[in-house]
Structure 1
Amino acid sequence: MTNLFGGAAPFYVKYRPGYGEEAIGCLARAFGPGSRVLDLGCGPGTVAIPLAGAVREVRAEFAMNEFTAANSFQASGEHHDDVLADSPFDRLESSLFEKRLTWDLDAVIGLQLSYSYTTPDRLGDRVAEFTDAVRRVLLAANPSGVWEERAITEVLVARRS
């Protein structure tokens, strides 16, 4: 498979929750209004688009390929805090932001189809079978078809010492 998120874009845009105004505001304050920002691995612009009005320029790059995936912090097994602490960008500031989300059955299934391991391209001709099975299991576990989530977003700003 050459495209990690093949077929996920419409589900990603519709069902992935944004980071929220507080988290974006934290980034905007950290960068400052005259800054130029590079958002690598930006996906559909979840950070870049809301941040664009608060800084001078945002360049959004979605450069996901096997090389970048193999060299990501997650692939290395190291936590990003540890990698940054051992880098020139070792002054770390962490801020946490909480929000409550309510998901209906279609949103939970749509969210699942936005993940790289269950994209429509990865599932191929099994998409309908997969979504039907997920629907049955979820409704058996929770007949109301509504789920509440407490989502925590961490904004980690790393500055050069």
Structure 2
Amino acid sequence: MSSPGELFASGASHYARYQPRYPRELFDFLAEAFGLNGTQTALDLGCGPGILALPLSRLVARVIAVDPEPGMLEEGRSIAERQGVDTIRWRRGDSSDLRALGLPPLDLCVMGRSFHWMSREQVLADLDGLVNPEGGVVIVATEPAGTVWSRAVDEVREAYRTLPGGGDDGSRPELEESNREVLRRSLFPRVTAAHWTYRIDRTLDEVIGLQFSHSSFTPARLGGRKDAFERDLRTALAGISPDGRFEQTVRTEALTATRRHRGLRPG
């Protein structure tokens, strides 16, 4: 089975450019919830090109951004350099054994679109030995609302998925237990949720580029079918939006998990 890093390898630049950014309110919330004042150390585990790490870096002293895919890290470094951000340490690494990474004590660990790929129970157990007593873990997820145009895109995507029995198509694994339930069984059992809803406007080219950021439809995975995939997407979307604008409502959720008694690490 392909690793998450391999699945995203050829989609790194598309991911960095087209995946939706998190709302400013998320970072205001994190600052208040964890008292972020520019002195803390945060870990962005499964950081990709830094969609969480880059804005978070403005609230803490340093961010350690870890991802298994070199292409994602290179995209993140490039963006950070353009933005003048020099407080992020970009590190290639895997979530399977955080202890091997030699991480310093952490005040916060954030995970975006990565937690579902991990051995969630083991990652949380490892984080218990790394996150300071007053710190915690935050899982951030984004869910776009269905629209006429997104359903048209889904129909094209479905037609290009690997046929049954043809092997892994890179789709996100189905989870038998929700992230909230896994967190509640961990050593970070105090779980609260915060939500924000906002609108994203995209052009036709941005909608197309977004599809190449998904692990099932990266250019390398599509191979010789890439041009046909793009052509079929454009055909499906033609006429849905005469002005070439595609609106979508997006909901972001942050699950904040802390120890039952903050300040005391179970032991």
Q: 2:54 aligns with which of 44, 49, 56?
A: 49
**Residue number in structure 2 paired with 1:61:** 66
Alpha-carbon separation, structure 1, partners of 2:95 and 2:175:
14
**Aligned: 1:71 with 2:153:** no
Q: What is the CA–CA distance in structure 1 between the aligned matches of 2:57 and 2:211, rounded to whole Å?
A: 28
Task: Please point out which of 13, 32, 35 is paired with 2:16.
Answer: 13
Contact 1:9 1:114 in 2 (8 A): yes
Check whether the contact 1:26–1:155 (CA below 8 A) recurs between aligned residues: no
Deviations 1:17-51 (A, max 9, x none): 11021112212322322321111011100111111
Partner secondary structure for residue 177 of structure 2: coil
For residues 43-75 of structure 1, the C-alpha deviation after alignment (integer angstroms, 9 at most, x for no partner) is 100111111110122111013679693635855
Amino acid at match of 1:83: V
**1:105 pairs with 2:183:** no
Greater CA drift, 60-69 or 114-123: 60-69
1:101-140 → structure 2 map (5 Å cutoff)? 101-140=200-239
Against the structure 1 CA distance between its residues 157 and 66, is the aligned structure 2 distance closer, same or farther, given a 3 Å change threshold?
closer
Number of aligned residues = 161
- Corresponding residue of 2:187: 88
Instruction: Tell me the CA shift for residue 140 of structure 1.
Output: 4.5
**Which consecutive unaligned segments of at least 5 residues does structure 2 have?**
70-93, 97-114, 122-172, 261-267
CA contact (8 A) 2:201 2:246 kept: yes
Amino acid aligned to 1:57: R
Distance 2:229 2:193 in 1: 38
* TM-score w.r.t. length of structure 2: 0.55
The worse-fitting range, judged by mean Cα deviation, of 2-11 and 25-34 is 25-34
SS at match of 2:9: coil
**Aligned-partner residue type, residue 63 of structure 1:** P
The correspondence of residues 27-46 of structure 1 with structure 2, limited to 5 A, is 27-31=30-34, 32-33=36-37, 34-46=39-51
**Separation of aligned partners in 2, 1:88 and 1:75:** 24
* Residues 14 and 210, structure 2, Cα contact 8 Å, conserved in 1: yes
Change (3 A) 1:103 1:151: same
Cα distance in 2, alignment partners of residues 39 and 119 from structure 1: 23
Give the structure 2 partner of residue 23 of structure 1. 26
Cross-structure match for 1:156: 255
- Can you list the C-alpha shifts for 1:72-118, whole angstroms capped at 9, x where unaligned? 58554211000011111111121111211111111111001100000
The question of whether the paired residues in 2 share the 8 Å contact of 1:5 and 1:119 is answered with yes
Residue 27 of structure 1 aligns to which amino acid in structure 2? Answer: L
Task: Report if the CA contact (8 A) 1:6-1:122 is conserved.
Answer: no
What residue identity is the alignment partner of 1:56? A
CA shift at 1:143, angstroms? 4.0
Name which one, 1 or 2, has greater alpha-carbon Rg.
Answer: 2
- Structure 1's unaligned 5+ residue stretches are none
Matched-pair identity in %: 37
Cα distance in structure 2, aligned partners of 1:22 and 1:143: 32
**After the TM superposition, which of the residue ranges 52-61 and 64-73 deviates more from structure 2?**
64-73
Verify the 8 A CA contact 2:120 2:182 in the aligned structure 1. Answer: no
